[in-house]
Structure formats: C-alpha cells, structure tokens
C-alpha cells in the first residue's frame, strides 16, 4: 500500500496548529503498519532548513508559478521520505498563511492550488516515475483541489481520501481566482467549486474525493447538521456514506512526561512527585506565587472565538475570586491578546499570560497544571486535552465534537468506578463554564478522588495505533474502488451531481 500524504504543514518542518501534529505522527504509525507513506508539503524556509538529506528530484518552469524544484528529503525525526515543493515565488516567505500582521497572503489560492497540482502530478506518476501512490490522502482546504485535479485525469488515478480537520476553514476566494487554478471551466459550478458566489477549496475536496474523514466520530456527525455544517451540511449529508470519523491520536514520542526534555523533572502515573516539581518550576517561570496547594488552571490555545477565548477573558475576574492560580498560553486575536496581558498586570502572582506560540512551554504548561480549561464552540478533535490527560492535568471541556469522544465527565458513578477523566459542560456561557470549573475545584479538594481522576486519564491510550489501523483499513477499502468517482463529466460536459445517494 503506497500512500501520498499531502498537507500544508507537518511538524517539525512547519506548524501552526493540530494539523501539523497529525502530519507528524500518523504517517509514522502507518509506516509501522507496513504502509509505504510519503509526505508532501511546501518548501517554506523553515521546512527547507529542518529537512534532512535534501536533493533536487526534478526542476521545471511552471507556467503560473515560475521556477519549481521538487526536492526529495527525509523527515529529521522519523526519517520518512518527504517531498518539498520549492517554488520560491509562492513559498519563500516567513508565515505559512499570513504575513507578520496576520493578513492572509493575497495569493493563497494560487499557492495551494500549485501545491495540489504538484501532488496530483506525483499521484499520476508524472513527476516521480519510480513511485506511484495507490491512495492520495489530502488534508484540509489547502489540499482540497488535489482530488479535483486527480479527477480530471484521463489516465488511471489513485484513490483519494480527503480529511477535514476543521470545516470552519474553507479556503474561500473570489471567483476571479478561478482561471489561475488550472481546472476546467465547468468545475466552477454549483456541483463543483462554486459556493455562494465564491470558490471553495474545501468544497472541491468534498465533491471530488472518493472518501472523506473528519478527525473524530462525533464531528463527522455534527458536520451534517446546520449548527456545525458551515453551509456545507446539505452536501455532506448527501455524501454521508462516504464520510466517517477517525479520532486523531497523540505522539507518545513527543508527549511523554516520563522522558520529556522540556520538563524540570520527569513523572508518570505511579510517580507523581515530579509533577509537583514541574508545577513549582512553572509558577517560577511565569511569576506566579509559589503555592503548591493552590490549584493551577491553564488555558493553552489559539485565541479565537472557536476556543471561546472571549468567554475565558470575560471570566478571568470571576475565576480570580476563587482560590486558584491561572495561566494562559496562546496567540491569535490581537485585541484578546492585549486584554489578557492587561489582566496579568491586574492580578500579579495569581494570573499570568504568555502571548506567543511556544511548543516547549506548552509541554511545561501541561506538566505544571492541575486543570486544563478547554472550552470550545466547536471542536473537530481537540488534541490539547489529550496532552493534558497524558500529563496529569484534568481537562474541563465543553461536550462538543471530538471532546465527546475523549473526555468522560466525572459523574458520581463514573468517579466511583474510576472511569472518569475530566469535567464536561454543555452550554456556551460563562455560567456553565464556571460551574464546571467549580466541580473540578471541588474534586481537587478531595485528594483521593482527584488522584483517581488524574490516574485514569494518564493511563488511557490516545496514541496513534488505533487511528492508524482505521486509516489503513480505509485505504485498503478504497483501493479496489479507485476507478468509479463520486462525480463524473458526461459527454455533454455537464456535471452529474456529486451525490452518493
């Protein structure tokens, strides 16, 4: 089984969020199961710096994007083969999707159409003759055009799997970009890329892939509803037989409190003393008062509406009235960033805010924390609470998306049986969130129950093995079906609806 895994970011070559973590760990777990998996992403400057064993595979002039070199390399950690699409005009800049002021690059449509076109070239054996994938696995809107490009091929093509990591990011562009994408003109139709007068890269992935996955089972169901479907729910409902959910895992090589180089002391489920050392170290690092018995609540997140950062901000004064310390690590909305910094000045020693994206610090936050506050308006998977669980920080989450599949509320019965790992609330409101936090704080005050909660979370296996098994089974199912496609051009050149039913 040969699989080309295509994404716009893969850790440690490039990362802005959870997608990069998936790209780092899933291919490794697939390779361990015997899948011949190769990766492809843009040759951003940081990716070129970090990749190992680089050599130019092929160099050519692209009519739209100019000089392009397809570089073969190895991932610096896992050694997996990776292709870097080195098109300086499009990718030689700092900032994966945005400039330093947080403004999207004006040519993002061309950038990721180009990446998809090159990946399709590999998929069809045109750019790497010695290796052709059986399955092309495209991720998120950036690679949404990849199934579309493969769909246009006259030649036999690989099966296509499209994974939606977050339906809210759709890759919407004015229709004026369409002529630059390199797709036949009839793809700009209601049964193709057109979405309410715009071009949607995500919709292309949904229409033209053989199968789609979301990153949890609950989210796979939610995206077919009006509340979470972002306007695509009708199409997703029509294709629901080709839609399933596979929960992401976490990379146990990187997220392991017993051997984490970023921590002040190692610890594990059976030896928690190191966690207290980590808590004291984090308090020192952040300028919080040294207080081993005060519960330390952390919030590690993009500062966005999705992550309810606005409600967290509003709730800080209420939280500060409780016997707790709180620290946030995040970046995002500039206004929220400023207000969190102001709050840190208002509550010195009790509230700390670190604005920025700091991977090692995220490790130290989870290790030092007692409670992770992770409210979300919607949550495709939610890796952060999984890291917290591994590091003995009890997550307080909203019961939505992947969090429904991973966080088990501490009801009396579940607590008694030792099968709870967190606290769950339902309503999007400060009142509901604070009530959940209070439940967690009440449990913290009962050390035996708290240990039980913490210990069950730390014992759970959220590694990639199960997910990789599901993905490789899915690839296997798709390969014999690679020829029939969900949407086909008839002789008159119009679209059959890309409906499954």
**Residue 300 lies near ligand ADP (rule: CB under 6 A):** yes
**Residue 400 lies near ligand ADP (rule: CB under 6 A):** no
Please identify which residue in 170, 301, 454, 472 interacts with ligand ADP, judged by CB under 6 A: 301
**Residue 316 lies near ligand ADP (rule: CB under 6 A):** no
Which lies closer to ligand ADP via its Cβ, residue 381 or residue 468? 381
Contact letters (x/-) for ligand ADP, 7-36, by CB under 6 A? ----------xx--x---------------
Distance CA 82, CA 74 (A): 5
Runs of H (alpha helix) within 171-308: 201-208, 217-222, 233-238, 273-286
Total of chain residues touching ligand ADP, rule CB under 6 A = 18
Please identify which residue in 331, 337, 370, 409 interacts with ligand ADP, judged by CB under 6 A: 331
Which lies closer to ligand ADP via its Cβ, residue 46 or residue 191? 46
**Closest CB to ligand ADP: residue number:** 18
State how beta strands 36-42 and 172-174 pair. unpaired
Which lies closer to ligand ADP via its Cβ, residue 250 or residue 436? 250
Residue pointed to by tokens 């509803």: 225
The 3-state secondary structure of 310-348 reads HHHHHHHHHHHCCCCEEEEEEEECHHHHHHHHHHHHHCC
Would you state the structure tokens that stand for residue 250, as one six-digit string?
A: 């976490």
Cα→Cα distances 323→402, 436, 437, Å: 30, 15, 12
Please identify which residue in 383, 388, 394, 453 interacts with ligand ADP, judged by CB under 6 A: 383
Distance CA 394, CA 406 (A): 12
Please identify which residue in 81, 123, 205, 330 interacts with ligand ADP, judged by CB under 6 A: 330
Which lies closer to ligand ADP via its Cβ, residue 298 or residue 443? 298
Residues 6+ apart with CB under 8 A from 462: 249, 250, 386, 389, 390, 406
**Before 57, cis peptide (omega within 30)?**
no
Which lies closer to ligand ADP via its Cβ, residue 126 or residue 302? 302
Query: What is the nearest approach in angstroms of ligand ADP to the Cβ of residue 319?
Result: 19
**Residue 97 lies near ligand ADP (rule: CB under 6 A):** no
Which lies closer to ligand ADP via its Cβ, residue 100 or residue 270? 100
Stretch that binds ligand ADP, among 87-95, 130-138, 323-331, 470-478 (CB under 6 A): 323-331
The 3-state secondary structure of 23-80 reads HHHHHHHHHHCCCEEEEEEECCHHHHHHCEEEEEEEEEEECCCEEEEEEEEECCCCCC
Contact letters (x/-) for ligand ADP, 348-367, by CB under 6 A? ---------xxx--x-----
**Residue 384 lies near ligand ADP (rule: CB under 6 A):** yes
Three-class SS state of 401: coil
Rounded to 5 degrees, φ, ψ at 272 are -90, 0
* Sheet containing 296-303, strands listed edge to edge, beginning at the edge strand earlier in sequence: 351-355, 325-332, 296-303, 371-374, 394-398, 423-425
* Residues within the interface to ligand ADP (CB under 6 A): 17-18, 21, 300-302, 329-331, 357-359, 362, 381-384, 387
């Amino acid at each position: 089984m040969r699989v080309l895994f295509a994404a716009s970011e893969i850790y440690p070559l490039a990362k802005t969020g959870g997608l990069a973590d998936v790209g780092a760990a899933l291919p490794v777990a697939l390779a361990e199961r015997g899948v011949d998996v190769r990766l492809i992403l843009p040759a951003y400057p940081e990716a070129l710096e970090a990749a190992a064993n680089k050599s130019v595979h092929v160099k050519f002039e692209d009519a739209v994007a100019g000089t392009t070199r397809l570089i073969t390399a190895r991932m610096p950690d896992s050694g997996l083969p990776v292709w870097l699409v080195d098109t300086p005009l499009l990718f030689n800049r700092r900032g994966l999707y945005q400039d330093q002021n947080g403004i999207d690059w004006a040519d993002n449509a061309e950038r990721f159409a180009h990446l998809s076109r090159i990946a399709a070239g590999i998929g069809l054996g045109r750019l790497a003759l010695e290796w052709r994938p059986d399955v092309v696995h495209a991720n998120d809107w950036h690679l949404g055009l990849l199934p579309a490009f493969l769909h246009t091929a006259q030649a036999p093509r690989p099966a296509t799997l499209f994974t939606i990591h977050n339906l809210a990011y759709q890759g919407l562009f004015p229709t004026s970009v369409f002529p630059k994408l390199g797709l036949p003109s009839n793809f700009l139709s209601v049964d193709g890329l057109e979405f309410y007068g715009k071009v949607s890269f995500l919709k292309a992935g949904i229409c033209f892939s053989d199968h789609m996955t979301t990153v949890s089972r609950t989210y796979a169901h939610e995206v077919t509803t009006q509340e979470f479907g972002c306007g695509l729910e009708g199409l997703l409902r029509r294709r629901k037989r080709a839609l399933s959910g596979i929960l992401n895992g976490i990379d146990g090589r990187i997220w392991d409190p017993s051997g984490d180089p970023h921590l002040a002391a190692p610890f594990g489920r059976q030896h928690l003393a190191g966690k207290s050392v980590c808590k004291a170290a984090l308090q020192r690092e952040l300028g919080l008062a040294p207080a081993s018995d005060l519960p330390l609540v952390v919030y590690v997140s993009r500062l966005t509406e999705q992550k309810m950062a606005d409600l967290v901000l509003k709730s800080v004064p209420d939280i500060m009235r409780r016997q707790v310390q709180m620290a946030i690590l995040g970046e995002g909305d500039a206004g929220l960033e400023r207000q969190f910094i102001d709050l840190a000045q208002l509550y010195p020693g009790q509230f700390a805010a670190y604005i920025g994206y700091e991977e090692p610090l995220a490790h130290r936050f989870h290790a030092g924390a007692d409670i992770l506050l992770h409210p979300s308006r919607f949550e495709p998977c939610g890796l952060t609470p999984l890291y917290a669980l591994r590091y003995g920080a009890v997550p307080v989450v909203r019961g939505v998306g992947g969090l429904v599949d991973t966080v088990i509320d501490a009801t009396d019965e579940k607590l008694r049986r030792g099968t709870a790992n967190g606290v769950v609330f339902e309503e999007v409101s400060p009142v509901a969130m604070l009530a959940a936090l209070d439940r967690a704080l009440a449990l913290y005050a009962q050390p035996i129950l708290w240990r039980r909660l913490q210990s069950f979370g730390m014992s759970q296996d959220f590694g990639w093995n199960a997910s990789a098994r599901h993905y490789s089974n899915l690839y296997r199912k798709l390969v014999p079906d690679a020829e029939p496609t969900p949407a086909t051009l008839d002789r008159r050149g119009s679209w059959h609806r890309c409906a499954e039913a």
